[in-house]
């Protein structure tokens, strides 16, 4: 198990557009996915992107198939490895909800996201993924894919009066569960 260091907001590597993956089903890609899964699990993450551990590739993982302590009321999202992602909004409806990020530890903000999306890409073996999702699942996908496009959730916020420390906004979530 390799738990990698998660880069924090302010690190310029989080602001670059990541490179697409060109070689699937390789030892290097499988090791990267394992490191991402181990790191996400150790941090109680809902998802994690390769740029968050300093790897300049379009690889994101999200979901675990189990409830997440950082988002106790959210529906379960299936574990997914998504490479070279593309997102298509389905409809005009945006939904505001609270988000946190392992690269912005201890904070939450209200972020508008498309309510329903279609996402496509590939898994680590090069097999295509094509899903239509809504709600929390759609939010997690958009959040993680933003990382491969050089964006952090505060860059999507429209009202900074709804941005603050998790321990103040959500006292039921311990700092240990949120970092």
- Catalytic residue, candidates 93, 99, 144, 177: 144
Q: Cα–Cα distance between 41 and 61 in angstroms, integer? A: 11
The answer to whether the CB of 35 falls within 8 A of the CB of 60 is no
Q: Count Cβ atoms below 10 Å from residue 83 Cβ, excluding itself.
A: 24
What Å distances lie between residue 86 and 93, 126, 131, 141, 149, CA to CA?
A: 19, 15, 11, 10, 11
Q: Cα–Cα distance between 94 and 175 in angstroms, integer? A: 29
| C-alpha 102: how far from chain center | 9
| C-alpha 151: how far from chain center | 11
Non-local (6+) Cβ contacts of 80 within 8 A are 61, 62, 63, 123, 129
Is residue 144 part of the annotated active site? The answer reads: yes
Query: Which amino acids are annotated catalytic?
Result: 144
């Amino acid at each position: 198990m390799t738990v990698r260091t998660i880069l924090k907001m302010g690190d310029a590597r989080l602001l670059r557009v990541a490179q697409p993956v060109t070689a699937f089903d390789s030892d290097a890609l499988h090791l990267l996915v394992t490191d991402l899964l181990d790191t996400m699990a150790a941090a109680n993450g809902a998802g994690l992107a390769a740029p968050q551990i300093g790897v300049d590739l379009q690889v994101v993982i999200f979901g675990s198939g189990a409830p997440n302590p950082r988002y106790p009321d959210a529906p379960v999202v299936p574990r997914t490895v998504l490479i070279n992602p593309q997102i298509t909004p389905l409809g005009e409806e945006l939904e505001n909800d609270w988000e946190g990020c392992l690269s912005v530890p201890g904070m939450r903000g209200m972020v508008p996201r498309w309510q329903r999306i279609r996402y496509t890409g590939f898994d680590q073996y090069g097999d295509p993924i094509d899903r239509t999702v809504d709600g929390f699942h759609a939010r997690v996908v958009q959040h993680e894919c933003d990382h491969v496009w050089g964006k952090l959730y505060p860059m999507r916020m429209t009202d900074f009066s709804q941005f603050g420390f998790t321990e103040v906004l959500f006292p039921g979530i311990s700092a240990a569960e949120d970092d």
